[in-house]
Amino acid sequence: MEKIKMTTPIVEMDGDEMTRILWQMIKDELVLPFVDLKAEYYDLGLLHRNETKDQVTIDAANANKKYGVAVKCATITPNKQRMEEYPQLTEMWKSPNGTIRSILDGTVFRAPILVDCVKPVIKTWEKPITIARHAYGDIYRGVEIQTDEPGEVALTFKGESGNKQSVLVQKVDGAAVWQGVYNTESSIRSFAHACFKYCIATKQDLWFSTKDTISKVYDGYFKELFDEVHNEYKAEFARLGLEYFYTLIDDAVARVIRSKGGYVWACKNYDGDVMSDMVSTAFGSLAMMTSVLVSPDGKFEYEAAHGTVTRHYYKYLEGQDTSTNPIATIFAWSGGLRKRGELDGITGLVKYGDALEQASLDAINAGVMTGDLVGLVEPGFQAKSVSSKAFIAEVRGRLAELLG
Ligand code: NAP
Ligand code: MG
């Protein structure tokens, strides 16, 4: 079989721990034998980020801006414990995803991958629920301080015109913690546009939730801008029979659980972070959730929604064959290469993306799957737990067949 040719490189962002191991397996077994891969490679592994003082993350995000499509492996966001684990770290580097999101702006859409043999924990869910997570600002760009004496904090805005606004945050009589967060009109607007556009493209209703009863100004601004942007899409939504629905975040959580699914739930940055883990777990597994960052100017970054699966990595280092689920990482590759194919008009690459997903789902529906899924299948379904390596080999065989 002749390998599929590419014209524009895809930006490849390598990562950490177990997902880095899966990344290489997927490339070797499922990508390189079929595609004449053109990639611009950036190593976002923690130690390389440290060596480059995190410049590599910025370079990778800029390459994503330049070429349009990236695939990213999960990466470690260092915390105190990681600083002890990796004593060579010179700084507690920021979350690479946070850095990429703030350079690209945009919205993260997370959708579960459904398979027939695994039914959602929530019995009423019939269709996927896609979380649209605003990927800019709030606590992810926040600043924080800890203080240990009585005192006060004020929030001050100094306009370039000389205008000043100030408000007392609080006066305290002892130790305290403080946080300053922000968002911008343009980012919130592009979040809203991305959501309405995505819903039109996928013919799904849009739900949006905030806590504007408590955060009247901050969250109230989100609601107001969504209402404004909605006006621009009202006619198209009506034509397609779609609905835009705003409600409070706590009400939304309750309604989501009782719903049938089949809509996009737009969430502020933190809500989206938390709710996507809840939704993916209830649909089956965190390992079955895709994630794509869509920037307002149409740049795409595909990745798995889960992390680097540390516990499995330590087993792997002990020489064990782990049964880590590679599905979401495979779908990052299929999604990225398919999008590259669409943008460059390469039908072979689009078909390859579809076939890779089909082969992965076929393997699971035939009962071959990783350990995390075996416990979730419907009673009576014959499922065999295999290692990541064996699962990928199974997918490769099916992919080769599908591609003839
Ligand atoms: P995680 O890597 O997603 O793993 C949490 C647990 O979920 C695992 O221990 C495992 O459960 C299960 N799991 C997740 N993905 C799986 C898969 N593909 N196959 C099988 N089981 C899977 O989250 P974490 O342990 O909180 O974070 C680990 C590191 O990842 C952290 O350093 C964090 O900074 C980073 N992280 C990165 C990203 C990103 O780059 N996008 C996102 C989140 C977290 P069992 O152990 O019970 O099998
Ligand atoms: Mg998260």
How far, in Å, CA of 198 to CA of 106, rounded?
Answer: 12
- Tell me what pLDDT residue 331 has: 97
Average pLDDT of the residues in 98-123: 89
CA distances from 160 to 157, 273, 305 (A): 10, 34, 40
Say yes or no to pLDDT of 197 above 90.
Answer: no
Question: CB neighbours (10 Å) of residue 210?
Answer: 23
pLDDT category, 57, cuts 50, 70, 90? very high
Does 26 contact ligand 1 (Cβ within 6 A)?
Answer: no
Distance from residue 96's CA to the centre of ligand 2 (Å): 13
Distance from residue 307's CA to the centre of ligand 1 (Å): 4
Ligand approaching nearest to the C-alpha of 284: 1
Say whether 380 sits in a helix, a strand or coil: coil
Q: What is the pLDDT of residues 243-266, one digit of tens each?
A: 999 999 999 999 999 999 999 999
Closest residue by CA, ligand 1 atom 22: 287
CA distances from 295 to 199, 273, 324 (A): 15, 18, 30
Q: Are the C-beta atoms of residues 71 and 293 closer than 8 Å to each other?
A: no
Average pLDDT of the residues in 299-308: 94
Say yes or no to pLDDT of 198 above 90.
Answer: no
Ramachandran angles phi, psi of 403, nearest 5°: -85, 0
pLDDT category, 360, cuts 50, 70, 90? very high
One-letter amino acid at 74 equals A
- Tell me what pLDDT residue 144 has: 96
Say yes or no to pLDDT of 1 above 80.
Answer: no
Q: What is the pLDDT of residues 154-180, one digit of tens each?
A: 999 999 999 999 999 999 999 999 999
Ramachandran angles phi, psi of 145, nearest 5°: -135, 155
How far, in Å, CA of 317 to CA of 67, rounded?
Answer: 35
Does 286 contact ligand 1 (Cβ within 6 A)?
Answer: yes
Ramachandran angles phi, psi of 5, nearest 5°: -90, 150
Ligand 1: residue of 301, 310, 313, 392 to mutate (most ligand atoms within 8 A of CB) is 310
pLDDT category, 208, cuts 50, 70, 90? very high
Closest residue by CA, ligand 1 atom 26: 307
Closest residue by CA, ligand 1 atom 33: 76
Atom of ligand 1 nearest to the CA of 327: 18
- Mean of per-residue pLDDT scores for the chain: 95
Say yes or no to pLDDT of 296 above 80.
Answer: no
Distance from residue 145's CA to the centre of ligand 2 (Å): 23
One-letter amino acid at 139 equals I
- Tell me what pLDDT residue 8 has: 98
Does 306 contact ligand 1 (Cβ within 6 A)?
Answer: yes
- Tell me what pLDDT residue 104 has: 87
Average pLDDT of the residues in 379-397: 96
Say yes or no to pLDDT of 18 above 90.
Answer: yes
pLDDT category, 204, cuts 50, 70, 90? very high
Average pLDDT of the residues in 343-369: 97
Say yes or no to pLDDT of 233 above 80.
Answer: yes
Helix (H) or strand (E) holding 263: strand 263-267
The region of weakest confidence among 89-93, 136-140, 231-235, 326-330 is 136-140
pLDDT category, 106, cuts 50, 70, 90? confident
Ligand 1: residue of 18, 89, 306 to mutate (most ligand atoms within 8 A of CB) is 306
- Tell me what pLDDT residue 133 has: 93
Does 203 contact ligand 1 (Cβ within 6 A)?
Answer: no
Angle at 26 between CA 24 and CA 29, to 5 degrees: 105
pLDDT category, 276, cuts 50, 70, 90? confident
Does 311 contact ligand 1 (Cβ within 6 A)?
Answer: yes
One-letter amino acid at 128 equals P
Distance from residue 291's CA to the centre of ligand 1 (Å): 14
- Tell me what pLDDT residue 139 has: 95
Q: What is the pLDDT of residues 21-42, one digit of tens each?
A: 999 999 999 999 999 999 999 9
Closest residue by CA, ligand 1 atom 15: 287
Ligand 1: residue of 286, 314, 320, 323 to mutate (most ligand atoms within 8 A of CB) is 286
Say yes or no to pLDDT of 354 above 80.
Answer: yes
Q: Are the C-beta atoms of residues 331 and 290 closer than 8 Å to each other?
A: yes
Predicted TM-score (pTM) of the model is 0.86
